[in-house]
């Protein structure tokens, strides 16, 4: 049979066709009124997408560039920071903070789990300058409690800045950035916003901007104060990734359309979409007899699944690729060979989700010896979740609400 390549990877994610067209048409110079209008419009849309009143900055880099920028612009050598680490991206925070001379404390929990707030409280010191965490840890498929950590910092009257890598959290998880008091929030282009890799975006609270005034770490390309000054005029400090910015505008228009033209409502719809795809997938793999890697606090960004005993997860990844051109990811680092991950970030719909579950049933039938296996069990479980979350009952409830 014909095979259509489909990405089920937690970044890069599938591209929005309208964004690809916008990229192809973006033959404009960046020091022109035309670009300035585009840039200012996209930065304004991003504020709504992130859900903050603060300026959002765009950087021409992958997501890690914005992680590095938040350390280099907000800390000084010797500053104490606390990393909440539960996977490969948590470990990246530790590596970046160390590279900039910070004294790093770490609360770490095994892969597949999340931290207890009590452990965070115990690790917090008076001199802790920043708490670094992920909203969702893409390497394990776990959701972390950003709200809980934010509230804890308030309760402890900590002056530590809360810096959140929400690179796969934005667009898959409800985040009340300003309401909770998140000081820095970071996103990346190749995740929920459905465009290629190459852009990072972040916003800083007033307290975080104050920290940029005293921070001593070196910075040049990622000088956020300079970038903000330029952004307010519709300029970027250096040559911006013009085509990606045009693509981002088209993608944010698409997301707004999911909310009837209201971008905040569209973001909410996007989060619900990811949650439904994730819930369908979890129900399906459990119905197959496979075990979830992160059963307790699963992220809607991606679902991580254990390969059955004695099977290398690479076999499942390869079978899905070779037979169905479906690209799922293996585990990273020590998790390689143990788990595979199916993403739900951005442009995934009901059809994609049903398709990957159907393909997984085929792989299970031929390559996995699962007790009690039968075609249709996983699909039935997913269908049921879909119907419950979006079906007639919910519509009736909504109608009844609207009629009040």
Whole-number Å distance between alpha carbons of 349 and 258? 12
Whole-number Å distance between alpha carbons of 125 and 381? 46
Residue 93 found at the interface with ligand PLP (CB under 6 A): no
Residue 89 found at the interface with ligand PLP (CB under 6 A): yes
Whole-number Å distance between alpha carbons of 200 and 186? 7
Residue 303 found at the interface with ligand PLP (CB under 6 A): no
**Do the beta carbons of residue 14 and residue 348 sit within 8 Å?**
yes
Part of the chain binding ligand PLP (CB under 6 A), chosen from 57-65, 73-81, 284-292, 316-324: 57-65
Handedness of CA 28, 30, 36, 40 (dihedral sign): positive
Q: If DSSP codes are grouped into helix, strand and coil, which group holds residue 168?
A: coil
Cis peptide before 12 (omega within 30 of 0): yes
Whole-number Å distance between alpha carbons of 48 and 256? 10
Q: Which residue of 58, 167, 170, 283 would you call a contact of ligand PLP, by CB under 6 A?
A: 167
Instruction: Enumerate residues 187-206 that contact ligand PLP by CB under 6 A.
Output: 188
Question: φ, ψ for residue 148 (rounded to 5)?
Answer: -60, -45
Residue 64 found at the interface with ligand PLP (CB under 6 A): yes
Question: φ, ψ for residue 354 (rounded to 5)?
Answer: -60, -40
What radius of gyration, in Å, describes the C-alpha atoms of the chain?
Answer: 21
Pair of tokens at residue 39:
């840039």
Q: Closest approach of Cβ 168 to ligand PLP, in Å?
A: 4
Question: φ, ψ for residue 75 (rounded to 5)?
Answer: -125, 165
Measured from the CB atom, is 211 or 302 closer to ligand PLP? 302
> Strands (DSSP E) along 53-212, which ranges?
56-60, 80-85, 103-108, 128-134, 136-137, 142-143, 161-165, 184-188, 199-204
Q: Closest approach of Cβ 188 to ligand PLP, in Å?
A: 5
Residue 168 found at the interface with ligand PLP (CB under 6 A): yes
Query: Quick one: DSSP state of residue 270?
Result: H
Measured from the CB atom, is 138 or 158 closer to ligand PLP? 138
Measured from the CB atom, is 109 or 288 closer to ligand PLP? 109
Whole-number Å distance between alpha carbons of 279 and 69? 34
Query: Quick one: DSSP state of residue 205?
Result: -
Q: Closest approach of Cβ 27 to ligand PLP, in Å?
A: 26
Measured from the CB atom, is 152 or 170 closer to ligand PLP? 170
Pair of tokens at residue 235:
């300029």
Residue 138 found at the interface with ligand PLP (CB under 6 A): yes
Residue 140 found at the interface with ligand PLP (CB under 6 A): no
Q: Closest approach of Cβ 187 to ligand PLP, in Å?
A: 10
Whole-number Å distance between alpha carbons of 229 and 34? 19
Query: x/- string (CB under 6 A) for ligand PLP, residues 96-135?
Result: --------------------------------------x-
Measured from the CB atom, is 15 or 287 closer to ligand PLP? 15
Measured from the CB atom, is 165 or 352 closer to ligand PLP? 165
Q: Which residue of 12, 14, 51, 63 would you call a contact of ligand PLP, by CB under 6 A?
A: 63
Measured from the CB atom, is 9 or 205 closer to ligand PLP? 9
**Do the beta carbons of residue 175 and residue 167 sit within 8 Å?**
no
Element (H, E) at 364: helix 350-367
Cα 99 to its chain centre, rounded Å, is 24
Part of the chain binding ligand PLP (CB under 6 A), chosen from 68-76, 163-171, 235-243, 392-400: 163-171
Q: Closest approach of Cβ 387 to ligand PLP, in Å?
A: 30
Instruction: Enumerate residues 267-296 that contact ligand PLP by CB under 6 A.
Output: none
Residue 165 found at the interface with ligand PLP (CB under 6 A): yes
Part of the chain binding ligand PLP (CB under 6 A), chosen from 60-68, 96-104, 144-152, 359-367: 60-68
Part of the chain binding ligand PLP (CB under 6 A), chosen from 23-31, 160-168, 366-374, 382-390: 160-168
> Strands (DSSP E) along 109-238, which ranges?
128-134, 136-137, 142-143, 161-165, 184-188, 199-204
Judged by CB under 6 A, the number of residues near ligand PLP is 12
Q: Closest approach of Cβ 214 to ligand PLP, in Å?
A: 27
Query: x/- string (CB under 6 A) for ligand PLP, residues 4-23?
Result: ------xx------------
Binding residues (CB under 6 A) for ligand PLP: these are 10-11, 62-64, 89, 134, 138, 165, 167-168, 188
């Amino acid at each position: 049979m014909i095979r259509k390549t489909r990405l089920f990877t937690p970044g890069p994610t599938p591209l929005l066709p309208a964004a690809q067209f916008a990229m192809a048409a973006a033959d404009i110079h960046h020091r022109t009124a035309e670009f300035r209008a585009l840039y200012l419009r996209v930065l304004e849309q991003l504020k709504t997408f992130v859900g903050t009143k603060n300026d959002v900055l765009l950087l021409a880099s992958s997501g890690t560039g914005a992680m590095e920028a938040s350390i280099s612009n907000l800390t000084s050598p010797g500053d104490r920071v606390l990393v909440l680490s539960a996977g490969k991206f948590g470990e990246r925070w530790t590596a970046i903070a160390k590279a900039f001379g910070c004294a790093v404390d770490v609360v770490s929990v095994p892969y597949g789990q999340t931290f207890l707030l009590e452990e965070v409280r115990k690790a917090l010191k008076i001199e802790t300058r920043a708490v670094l965490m992920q909203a969702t840890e893409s390497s394990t498929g776990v959701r972390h409690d950003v709200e809980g950590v934010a509230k804890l910092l308030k309760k402890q009257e900590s002056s530590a800045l809360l810096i959140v890598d929400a690179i796969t959290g934005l667009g898959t998880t409800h985040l009340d950035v300003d309401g909770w008091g998140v000081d820095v929030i970071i996103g990346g282009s190749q995740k929920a916003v459905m465009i290629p890799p190459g852009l990072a975006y972040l916003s800083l609270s007033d307290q975080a901007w104050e920290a940029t005034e005293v921070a001593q770490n070196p910075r040049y390309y990622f000088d956020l104060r300079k970038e903000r000054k330029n952004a307010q005029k519709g300029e970027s400090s250096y040559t911006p990734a013009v085509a990606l910015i045009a693509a981002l505008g088209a993608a944010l228009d698409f997301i707004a359309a999911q909310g009837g033209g209201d971008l905040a409502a569209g973001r909410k719809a996007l989060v619900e979409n990811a949650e439904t795809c994730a819930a369908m997938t979890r129900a399906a793999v459990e119905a197959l007899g496979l075990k979830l890697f992160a059963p307790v606090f699963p992220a809607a960004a991606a679902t991580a699944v254990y390969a059955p005993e004695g099977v290398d997860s690479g076999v499942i990844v390869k079978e899905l690729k070779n037979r169905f051109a479906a690209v799922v990811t293996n585990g990273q680092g020590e998790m390689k060979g143990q788990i595979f991950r199916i993403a739900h970030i951005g442009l995934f719909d009901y059809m994609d989700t049903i398709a990957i579950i159907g393909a997984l049933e085929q792989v299970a039938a031929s390559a996995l010896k699962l007790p009690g296996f039968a075609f249709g069990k996983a699909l039935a479980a997913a269908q049921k979740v879909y119907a419950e979350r979006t079906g007639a009952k919910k519509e009736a409830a909504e109608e009844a609400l609207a009629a009040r």
